[in-house]
């Protein structure tokens, strides 16, 4: 055990993901400060290469499907790394990796700064937003990031990474989740009009309340197709799936597509919701099977291959590994 006094051995994915599913976290830690996180990572690095367990970071669990077999090795939950430090220029702030996205948006708003409005409704943390290049309202995390402090398991030290080093693309960064751990990040905002900022944030929250499911879910399961020369304005993943009837239709008594304890949300065809109870509660296998069905249906109907936005964490069983490979092939 890495740090006996601080280890949690009875946590599961249910408590730590918005899908509310997933098996046991073998050895979990929730560091309360930068120094505690660094100490934990240093202890982990000090182990011999062949003795070092896999280390997985979990922020808000807003995009993560945790395997039913759980996460073996060490899980570091970042939520308590939640400091906010204003920078001298009056436009930038450094946030701990576990700061909730809504708190980032609120911090910028409080200082009359624009550019963070899109973060208000995203259930995620600073680290998760950087890793996923989260975005909404046509804005992305990459546009706000100046730099981040990353514990690099390849070099074993804390490094300052300028934004360019992350290789951001749509919902993608080049970080290697098994080796690069964001511990804090500096975002810059721009002076804005208070009323406009407030309006954008209110609109975003109201839109989400009206269109997003209320049952446990992991946000958009697929990324939207990117524009190409021949198709400069492709339909979104949700529109494609909606057109195929994935979310059902109450008027015609058609149920949404379902698998075990999960189903396509009747509110949004690119969301899967965990609706099972008791023994029927949704599992990672259910999610992956349903994702595969959704992906195949869009391929058959439109020749478009949707790619996962959700990430799979932990020890996938053989079927889950095969499904995940199919989803990416
Ligand atoms: C209702 C709902 C609405 C959503 N809306 C949006 C939206 O509008 N736009 C959008 O982009 N996303 C959206 N999401 C998805 C999700 O909230 C984002 O992807 C968010 O950025 C994930 O952050 P997290 O902290 O929850 O990441 P997690 O799910 O905890 O982790 C995601 C990945 O990042 C890695 N990771 C986490 N923290 C760190 C770190 N500190 N350093 C390195 N790697 C790390 C994890 O290991 C994992 O690989 C939504 C989700 C839900 C449930």
Helices (H), 80-133: 101-110, 126-132
Nearest CA to ligand 1 atom 19: 63
- In terms of domains, do 231 and 305 share one? yes
| Residues forming beta bridges with residue 64, ordered by sequence position | 311
182 shares a domain with 103: yes
Confidence category of residue 47, pLDDT binned at 50, 70, 90: very high
d(C-alpha 116, C-alpha 98), whole Å: 16
Residues 95, 183: one domain? yes
Minimal-distance CA residue to ligand 1 atom 43: 181
Pocket test for ligand 1, best of 127, 139, 205, 211 (most atoms within 8 A of CB): 127
Parent domain of 149: 84-196
Residue 25: CA count within 13 A, CB half-sphere: 27
The band of 278, judged by pLDDT with boundaries at 50, 70 and 90, is: confident
Contacts of residue 2, defined as CB under 8 A and 6 or more positions apart, other chains included, come to: 27, 29, 40, 43, 44, 74
Q: Which ligand 1 atom lies nearest to the CA of residue 130?
A: 21
Task: Tell me the CATH number at 69.
Answer: 3.30.43.10
Find the Cα–Cα–Cα–Cα dihedral 309, 313, 315, 319, rounded to 10°: -10
Short-list 290, 296, 288, 240, CA closest to 268: 240
> Per the domain annotation, does 225 fall within a domain?
yes
136 ligand 1 Cβ < 6 A:
yes
Question: Do both 128 and 221 map to the same domain?
Answer: no
Ligand 1 atom with minimal separation from the 133 CA: 11
Claim to verify: residue 320 and residue 218 sit in the same structural domain: yes
Separation CA 197–CA 126 (nearest Å):
20
Structural domain includes residue 252:
yes
| 279 has pLDDT over 90 | no
* Listed residues 56, 77, 98: the one ending a domain: 77
Residue with tokens 């989400």: 208
Q: Which residues is 63 bridged to in the sheet?
A: none
Q: Are residues 231 and 311 located together in one domain of the fold?
A: yes
Known catalytic membership, residue 147 = no
Residue with CA nearest ligand 1 atom 3: 219
Does the C-beta of 216 come closer than 6 Å to ligand 1? no
Alpha-carbon gap, residue 211 to 307, rounded angstroms: 22
From the candidates 64, 147, 220, 265, which is the catalytic residue? 220
Is residue 277 predicted with pLDDT exceeding 90?
A: no
- Regarding whether 126 and 71 lie in a shared domain, the answer is no
203 inside domain: no
Residue 206 lies in a domain: no
In this structure, what is the dihedral angle of CA atoms 25, 26, 30, 35, given to the nearest 10 degrees?
-140
Kindly tell me if the per-residue pLDDT of 70 is higher than 90: yes
Rounded distance from Cα 40 to ligand 1 centre (Å): 22
Is any atom of ligand 1 closer than 6 Å to the C-beta of 153? no
Residue at 204 is within a domain: no
145 pLDDT more than 90? yes
Determine the distance separating the centroid of ligand 1 and the alpha carbon of 135, expressed in angstroms: 10
Any ligand 1 atom below 6 A from CB of 31:
no
- 208 occurs within a structural domain: no
> Which ligand 1 atom lies nearest to the CA of residue 213?
1
Helix (H) or strand (E) holding 46: helix 34-46
SS3 content of the chain, % helix, strand, coil (to 5): 35, 25, 40
pLDDT of 230 above 90: no
Domain count of the fold of the chain: 3
293 is catalytic: no
Instruction: Please compute the mean of the pLDDT values over residues 35-63 and round it to a whole number.
Output: 96
CATH number at residue 96: 3.30.465.10
- Going by CA atoms, what residue is nearest to atom 51 of ligand 1? 219
User: pLDDT tens digit string along 108-122?
Assistant: 999 999 999 999 999
CA 183/CA 81 separation, integer angstroms: 8
Q: Are residues 24 and 97 in the same domain?
A: no
CA of 171 to the centre of ligand 1 (A): 10
Residue 248 near ligand 1, beta carbon < 6 Å? no
Q: Is the CB of 274 under 6 A from ligand 1?
A: no
Please give the average per-residue pLDDT across 129-144, as a whole number.
Answer: 96
pLDDT at 131: 97
Asked whether residue 71 falls in the same domain as residue 105, the answer is no
- Cβ of 140 less than 6 Å from ligand 1: no
Q: Tell me if residue 309 is catalytic.
A: yes
Q: What pLDDT was estimated at residue 231?
A: 87
Residue 241 lies in a domain: yes
Instruction: Establish whether residue 293 lines the binding site of ligand 1, counting it when its CB lies within 6 angstroms of any ligand atom.
Output: no
Please report, for residues 51, 212, 289, 304, the alpha-carbon distance to residue 294 in angstroms, rounded to integers and kept in the order given: 40, 18, 9, 11
Quick one: 72 and 99 in the same domain?
A: no
pLDDT tens digits, 206-228: 999 999 999 999 999 999 999 98
Structure tokens at 54: 């896999």
| 218 and 324 together in one domain | yes
- The pLDDT, as a whole number, for residue 112 is 98
Residue 207 lies in a domain: no
Domain end, chosen from 77, 94, 125, is at 77
Whether residue 94 sits in one domain with residue 183:
yes
Q: Does ligand 1 lie within 6 Å of residue 212's CB atom?
A: yes
């Amino acid at each position: 055990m890495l740090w006996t006094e601080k280890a949690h051995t009875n946590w599961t994915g249910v408590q730590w993901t918005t899908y509310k599913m997933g098996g046991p976290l073998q050895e979990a830690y929730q560091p309360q400060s930068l120094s505690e996180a660094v100490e934990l990572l240093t202890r982990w690095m000090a182990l011999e290469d062949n003795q070092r367990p896999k280390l997985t970071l979990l922020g808000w669990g807003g995009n993560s499907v945790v395997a039913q077999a759980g996460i073996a090795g060490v899980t570091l939950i970042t939520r308590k790394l939640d400091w906010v430090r204003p920078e001298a220029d009056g436009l930038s702030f450094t946030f701990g990796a576990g700061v909730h996205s809504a708190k980032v948006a609120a911090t910028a708003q409080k200082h009359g700064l624009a550019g963070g409005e899109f973060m208000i409704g995203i259930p995620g943390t600073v680290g998760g937003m950087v890793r996923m290049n989260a975005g909404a309202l046509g804005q992305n995390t990459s546009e706000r990031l100046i730099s981040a402090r990353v514990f690099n398991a390849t070099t074993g030290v804390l490094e300052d990474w300028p934004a360019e080093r992350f290789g951001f693309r749509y919902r993608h960064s080049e970080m290697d989740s098994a080796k690069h751990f964001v511990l804090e990040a500096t975002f810059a905002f721009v002076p804005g009009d208070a009323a406009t900022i407030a309006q954008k944030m209110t609109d975003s929250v109201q839109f989400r309340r009206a269109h997003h499911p209320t049952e446990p879910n992991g946000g958009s399961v697929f990324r939207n197709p990117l524009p190409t020369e021949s198709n400069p304005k492709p339909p979104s993943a949700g529109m494609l799936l909606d057109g195929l009837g994935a979310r059902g239709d109450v008027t015609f008594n058609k149920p949404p597509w379902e698998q075990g304890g999960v189903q396509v949300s009747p509110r949004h065809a690119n969301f899967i919701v965990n609706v099972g109870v008791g023994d029927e509660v949704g599992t990672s296998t259910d999610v992956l099977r349903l994702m595969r069905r959704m992906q195949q249906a869009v391929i058959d109907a439109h020749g478009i291959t949707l790619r996962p936005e959700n990430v799979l964490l932990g020890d996938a069983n053989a079927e889950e590994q095969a499904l995940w490979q199919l989803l990416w092939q």
